[in-house]
Amino acid sequence: MSETLALCGVRDLDLAQTLDCGQCFRWVEQPDGSFTGVAFGKSAAVRLEKNTLYIETENREDEPLWRSYFDLDLDYASVRSELSKLHPVLAEAAEYAGGIRILRQEPYEALCTFIISQNNNIKRIKGIVQRLCECFGERLPDGAYAFPTVETMAVLSVEDLAPLRAGFRARYLCDAAQRVSSGEVDLEYCRTAEYEDARAELMKITGVGVKVADCVLLFGLHRVEAFPVDVWMKRAMEKLFPGMQPSDFGPYAGIAQQYIFHYSRRHPELFD
């Protein structure tokens, strides 16, 4: 990791909130507050000082990739301002979680990690994902591992995935890899298709229901209108936003969802 990129003028970013809010599972906080991880097959160490995001990585030419990954060209202050008009509790959540950005992750990685997420906890999800990368991902120069390619995973059997200890989710991962690799499920189609069509495309995969599909659309395809509802969000909607529907949150509902999700998880006493 020979180069250090310095991205200036970065606002509305908190690395801990963004990288440890349950949208991604491969970043590790270091004792000095920096985070190390891999995205798009590239290792990086990132840290934020004032309004400059420093990224230690291999290639200086990857700056646009990292700008995109951290979604730095979307004006989150403006989004937050619009969302805050919708509901006072949303304004509170948006202020509390205002450092969250929706990462532009790779679609296939998001698909696999949110298949793994079902009926699971974040700590164990991270462990399964780590073993998946170590077992089947490319080893990078610094010793980290890329996320495995869909072509690699498409030829694996459920037994091959046993070391992951993913349980009943192993066959879902195989099904996803095979359907994406064959072209039966077209992830790039989901980037631009009508929302319901994109969701239906993903739900061709065994183990992908509405919630996982919404997460893939939000976190892997940057469909920021997506509003995944899990057990936390169900509780939060009933308690904090009675009578409101996901569709009431507008074109940036997914960002609202992340604010509410993070706010709710950090205030469990609200739901006693």
Partner DNA sequence: ACCCAGGAAATTC
Partner DNA sequence: GAATTTCATGGG
| Chain residues in the site for DNA (CB under 7 A) | 21-23, 117-124, 127, 162, 165-168, 203, 206-213, 215, 228-233, 257-258, 261
User: In the complex with DNA, which residue's Cβ is closer, 7 or 25?
Assistant: 25
The answer to whether 43 and 77 are in contact (CB under 8 A) is no
The span from the CA of 98 to the CA of 124, in Å, is 27
> Max Cα separation, the chain?
53
Q: How far is the CB of 247 from DNA (least distance, A)?
A: 16
Per-residue buried b or exposed e for 125-149, using 16+ beta carbons within 10 Å of the residue's own CB: bbbbbbbbbebbbeeeeeebbbbbe
Pairing of strands 42-49, 28-29: unpaired
Distance CA 131, CA 142 (A): 17
Q: How far is the CB of 49 from DNA (least distance, A)?
A: 26
Nearest distance, CB of residue 261 and DNA, angstroms: 5
CB closer to DNA out of 42 and 262? 262
Identity of the residue, 80 or 262, whose beta carbon is nearer to DNA in the bound complex: 262
**Cβ nearer to DNA, comparing 43 with 113:** 113
Q: At what angle do helices 170-182 and 107-116 cross, to 10 degrees?
A: 160
Question: Containing H/E element for 4?
Answer: strand 3-7
Radius of gyration of the chain (CA): 18
- Residues β-bridged to residue 48: 53
How many CB atoms sit inside 10 A of residue 241's CB? 20
By the 8 A CB rule, do 114 and 216 touch?
yes
Shortest distance, CB of residue 186 to DNA, whole angstroms?
18
Comparison of 53 and 233: residue with beta carbon closer to DNA: 233
Question: CB of 86: closest distance to DNA in angstroms?
Answer: 18
Residue 153 or 205: the one with the smaller Cβ distance to DNA is 205
CB atoms inside a 10 Å sphere around CB 158: 14
Minimum CB distance to DNA, residue 58 (Å): 29
Q: Give the up-direction half-sphere exposure of residue 209: CA atoms within 13 A in the CB hemisphere.
A: 9
**Closer residue to DNA (CB): 107 or 228:** 228
Give the shortest CB-152-to-DNA separation in angstroms.
21
